Amino acid sequence: MSDQERRAELERNLAAVRDRIARACEGAGRDPGELTLVAVTKFFPAADVDLLADLGITDIGENRDQEVSAKLRDVARRDDLRVHFIGQLQSKKAASVVRYADVVQSVDRPKLVHALESAAASAGRALDVLVQVNLDEARGRGGVAPEGAVELAGLVADSEHLRLRGVMAVAPLGADPAPAFAQLREVAGAVRDRQPDATWVSAGMSGDLEAAITHGATHLRVGSAILGTRQPHR
């Protein structure tokens, strides 16, 4: 596929996603301007990231430290992009992630809070953080239990170099996402009662962004609906 064909494909996909967002916002009585679209570019090359930046994307999501730190070196428009780390993160990788991530969305345990705080302190910078909430009792795909979210959020808020921004979750696989997103909204409210600046709710992916918008998401993490389901041939 040529660069031009790929650009046209991404442009089409992005238009379709923006259209879905607009319609869901209309249904929910919300302003699309309240929503940040995070394009999840994992598995896709730096060239796609640059094309997306040209098409107006300001935020990208990545989930594997090794892949993203190498990839970002090849992104020409790196400085125009906010990078969200959205994957499960080992504490020993905290220093590496702090080198490139603007936001870590997947903070789910005290040990990781401490590791990120000390890495951000060494780097002399502030890091935006979301507390990941596990809405899937059966599986536990990362995330603190809903009952533990307020306490963990407090620990982040008390960390000098971390800025608590809100909460994040992935809906349970193969189930109606609506009850899960409703639960996330309650957890987000409980966190915000104590930490008024924690206004972000990161929920909704390619398959369930409408339900997430209905239930108050502020950030959508959309991969396959924008980039396709497999690595393009080039």
Ligand X SMILES: *Cc1c(COP(=O)(O)O)cnc(C)c1O
Cβ proximity to ligand X: between 42 and 163 the closer is 42
Give the whole-angstrom CA distance, residue 134 versus residue 213: 19
CA angle centred on 50, ends 92 and 228, rounded to 5°: 85
Interface with ligand X, residue 205, by CB under 6 A: yes
Find the shortest distance in angstroms from Cβ 133 to ligand X. 12
Give the whole-angstrom CA distance, residue 184 versus residue 180: 6
Interface with ligand X, residue 40, by CB under 6 A: yes
CB-count exposure of residue 21 (10 Å: 0-12, 13-18, 19+): buried
Find the shortest distance in angstroms from Cβ 84 to ligand X. 9
Interface with ligand X, residue 143, by CB under 6 A: no
Cβ proximity to ligand X: between 61 and 216 the closer is 61
Q: Which stretch binds ligand X (CB under 6 A): 2-10, 150-158, 184-192, 221-229?
A: 221-229
Q: Check: CB of residue 220 under 8 Å from CB of residue 209.
A: yes
Q: What DSSP line would sit under 62-127, residue for residue?
A: E--HHHHHHHHTT-TTGGG-EEEE-S---GGGHHHHHHH-SEEEEE-SHHHHHHHHHHHHHHT--E
Q: Which stretch binds ligand X (CB under 6 A): 1-9, 76-84, 182-190, 203-211?
A: 203-211
Interface with ligand X, residue 63, by CB under 6 A: yes
- Which of 83, 86, 144, 180 is the binder for ligand X (CB under 6 A)? 86
- Which of 37, 72, 211, 222 is the binder for ligand X (CB under 6 A)? 222
Cβ proximity to ligand X: between 195 and 202 the closer is 202
Q: Which amino acid is at 57?
A: I
Give the whole-angstrom CA distance, residue 130 versus residue 76: 27
- Which of 39, 94, 170, 187 is the binder for ligand X (CB under 6 A)? 170
User: Contacts with ligand X: how many residues (CB under 6 A)?
Assistant: 14
Cβ proximity to ligand X: between 21 and 161 the closer is 21
Cβ proximity to ligand X: between 142 and 146 the closer is 142
Residue 37, C-beta contacts closer than 8 angstroms, at least 6 positions apart: 17, 18, 21, 57, 59, 220, 222
Q: Which residues bind ligand X (CB under 6 A)?
A: 40, 42, 63, 86-87, 170, 205-207, 221-225
